[in-house]
Structure 1
Amino acid sequence: MRSRYSAFAVQDAAYLLRSWHPDTRPRTLDLDADMRWQGLDILATTEGSAFHTTGTVTFRAHYTHEGEPGELHEQSRFARHEGAWVYLDAVFTR
């Protein structure tokens, strides 16, 4: 989760696509150059250990967009794919 947040912060679309599950990954990813990520708060996690094949991360990410502050609150689902943890989808967002 933290590596994907960092990839959003530095606009690394290639990493984001590589770390996205192939069943839900978009063909391309257009990142908004006006989005400035300011911080990440991990609020909760479930499963996700070496013994699991799935897990969730609930987080709040703070940003500014065109000078206006905002936040993204999401519970992301992750799954193991070919030995690596990858983003699957969001359970909810606000």
Structure 2
Amino acid sequence: MVCKKCEKKTTKLATTDPFQASSSKTRTIGENKLLSSKKAARASPYANGGKKCLNCPNKVQQVGGTRCQQCAYKKGLCAICGTVILDTSRYKQSVA
């Protein structure tokens, strides 16, 4: 769960834009992608160990988040900033 303010931070695409003007001019024909790729440019989610949730030992899924998705839903908080989104006092949720 993410609040309206933090929703703008999560609207980034995981893939490149195929209609971007410079994307078609950079590819060379017959290039071996395994040899020419930059290893530093790749995303490595397990390199730094990842951020831990404030409430439990699980890892955080959101970029820049402070809580895991399960704890954010259970407590009704934003996963990034921690503001209260909805009142879960009358919800029937499991303990685990």
The alignment's TM-score, normalised by the length of structure 1, stands at 0.20
Whose radius of gyration is greater, 1 or 2?
2
More relative contact order in 1 or in 2 (CA 8 Å, sep 6+)? 2
The alignment's TM-score, normalised by the length of structure 2, stands at 0.20
Higher strand share: 1
